[in-house]
């Protein structure tokens, strides 16, 4: 099947040393044909492909409902809306994530409260969740209230960092103990499994949020999906994505007063078009192959870098299957003569498109200014971030590119060791 040469910022550029990006989408003739078919149809948006994509996505992860949205951020925002979080409400989450995980709460007037990570897998630490609840909240009339702000604790938002599922059994047990909702940020985790169940099946959560950005496991260009097993949150999210309007244009087409619509709530234009959904359907069919390729690349990195003492490699426990959205190494800086930023720069000089995931959310200027956070507040997340480098990993990587990345990282670590 013919592959299409990419242009723009995501393209592989020809340089004296060919640049290998950290991530890139895979588009083939089937994907293009699926999009062209919709372009020639009667419905470019709010049409039949949206519902078809939602059914296919729900089936893929084993959920009853899926709601397609315009981005992973929109998916998180819709999930917060669906559970009616708002002013005076808190939700616990991790600082080791993209800012959208926390921002989605602020959009609705709720407050993100951070808990530090486990150093071994960089996911939220259940022990820190319990510690935060016991130190900051008190039971008042059946709710947990923050004794300083008066806010009510309503939810936990674990993040499946890099594609490695968080400890969902522990998170769910805590949530049940304190009557909290659970929203999974599964933007990295399409195809991951936890204790034999697909992430997104909501076996340990109320909702799960995915992203279909070009560097994710499948792409719709931009897009997101929320899955759930409850009808009411799904209904609320479908209204929310369509300006708060209770019916969509296609549904009204068969009504006598087809012009009539009602805005029942304050919503947004977070719709995902039929064009995007057609691409998503085509990509979903290739997901097993994409996952297999990602896993194979991760295995090669683990094999080729496994004996480098100055590098800490990502691992997945026996209770889960890693989706390998990212391959994040951490440098043992005490064993190196250079810091992470210098290591990163030297990789880039050698044509390796490394990245860093993430700057902890609490250290961003907005969060420091608004909430008074400072370095040292979440030491495990800060230490992990200071040592982290994301290596290139995407299904279209050639074997020689994987070998070149591994050899470059290996040689740089060995030559820089103390």
Closest CA to 391 of 263, 294, 308: 294
Q: Are 38 and 87 found together in one domain?
A: yes
Q: Are 208 and 61 found together in one domain?
A: yes
pLDDT at 253: 60
Q: Are 165 and 142 found together in one domain?
A: yes
| Strands across the sheet containing 197-198 | 197-198, 193-194, 320-321
Q: Are 293 and 276 found together in one domain?
A: no
| Strands across the sheet containing 327-331 | 311-312, 327-331, 388-391
Q: What is the extent of the structural domain holding 159?
A: 29-282
pLDDT at 6: 45
Q: Are 273 and 345 found together in one domain?
A: no
Burial of 384 (0-12, 13-18, 19+ CB in 10 A): buried
Residue 77 to residue 266: CA distance in whole angstroms: 13
pLDDT at 255: 67
Q: Are 292 and 270 found together in one domain?
A: no
pLDDT at 12: 41
Query: How, if at all, do strands 388-391 and 327-331 pair?
Result: antiparallel
pTM of the entire structure? 0.94
Closest CA to 34 of 220, 300, 250: 220
pLDDT tens digits, one per residue of 188-219: 999 999 999 999 999 999 999 999 999 999 99
Quote the tokens at residue 158: 């674990």
Query: How, if at all, do strands 197-198 and 327-331 pair?
Result: unpaired
pLDDT at 258: 75
Ranges of the chain whose pLDDT falls below 70: 1-16, 249-256
Residues 6+ apart with CB under 8 A from 209: 72, 75, 76, 79, 183, 184, 185, 186, 187, 224, 225, 226
Is residue 293 annotated as a catalytic residue, yes or no? Answer: no
Residue 74 to residue 114: CA distance in whole angstroms: 21
Q: Are 35 and 116 found together in one domain?
A: yes
> Which segments of 260-338 are extended strands (E)?
311-312, 320-321, 327-331
9 occurs within a structural domain: no
Residue 93 sits in a domain of what CATH number? Answer: 3.40.640.10
pLDDT at 252: 53
Q: Are 259 and 329 found together in one domain?
A: no
21 occurs within a structural domain: no
406 occurs within a structural domain: yes
- Residue entry with tokens 């078809």: 52
Residue 157 to residue 113: CA distance in whole angstroms: 10
Q: Are 380 and 266 found together in one domain?
A: no
Residue 258 to residue 247: CA distance in whole angstroms: 10
Which of 282, 297, 320 is the last residue in one of the domains? 282
**Annotated active-site residue in 49, 128, 216, 293:** 216
Instruction: Classify 78 as helix, strand or coil.
Output: helix
pLDDT at 259: 75
Q: In the chain, how many domains are there?
A: 2
For the chain, how big is the Rg over CA atoms in Å? 22
């Amino acid at each position: 099947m013919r592959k299409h040469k990419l242009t723009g910022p995501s393209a592989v550029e020809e340089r004296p040393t060919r640049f290998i990006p950290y991530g890139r989408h895979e588009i083939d003739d089937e994907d293009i044909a699926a999009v062209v078919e919709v372009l020639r149809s009667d419905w470019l948006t709010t049409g039949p492909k949206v519902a078809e994509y939602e059914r296919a996505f729900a089936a893929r992860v084993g959920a009853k409902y899926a709601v397609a949205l315009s981005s992973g951020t929109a998916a998180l925002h819709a999930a917060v809306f669906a559970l009616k979080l708002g002013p005076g409400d808190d939700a616990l989450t991790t600082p080791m994530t993209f800012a959208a995980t926390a921002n989605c709460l602020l959009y609705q007037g709720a407050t993100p409260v951070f808990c530090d990570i486990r150093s071994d897998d960089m996911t939220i630490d259940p022990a820190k969740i319990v510690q935060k609840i016991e130190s900051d909240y008190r039971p008042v009339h059946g709710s947990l209230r923050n004794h300083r702000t008066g806010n009510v604790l309503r939810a936990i938002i674990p993040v499946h960092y890099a594609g490695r599922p968080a400890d969902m059994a522990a998170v769910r047990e805590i949530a049940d103990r304190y009557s909290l909702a659970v929203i999974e940020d599964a933007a990295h985790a399409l195809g991951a499994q936890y204790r034999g169940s697909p992430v997104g099946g909501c076996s340990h959560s109320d909702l799960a949020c995915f992203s279909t950005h070009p560097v994710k496991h499948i792409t719709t260009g931009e897009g997101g999906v929320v899955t759930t097993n409850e009808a009411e949150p799904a209904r609320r999210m479908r209204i929310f994505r369509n300006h708060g309007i209770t019916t969509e244009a296609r549904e009204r087409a068969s009504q006598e007063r087809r012009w009539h619509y009602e805005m029942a709530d304050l919503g947004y234009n977070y719709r995902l078009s039929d064009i995007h959904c057609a691409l998503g359907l085509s990509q979903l069919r290739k997901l097993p192959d994409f996952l297999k390729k990602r896993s194979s690349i991760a295995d090669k990195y683990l094999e080729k870098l496994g004996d480098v003492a100055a590098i800490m490699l990502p691992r997945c426990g026996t209770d889960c299957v890693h989706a390998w959205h990212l391959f994040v190494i951490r440098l043992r800086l005490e064993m190196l003569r250079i810091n992470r930023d210098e290591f990163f720069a030297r990789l880039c000089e050698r044509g390796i498109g490394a990245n860093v995931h993430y700057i902890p959310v609490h250290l961003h200027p907005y969060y420091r200014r608004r909430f008074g956070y400072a370095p040292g507040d979440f030491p495990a997340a800060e230490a992990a971030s200071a040592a982290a480098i994301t290596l290139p990993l995407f299904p279209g990587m050639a074997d020689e590119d994987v070998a070149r990345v591994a050899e470059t990282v290996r040689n740089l670590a060995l030559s820089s060791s103390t």
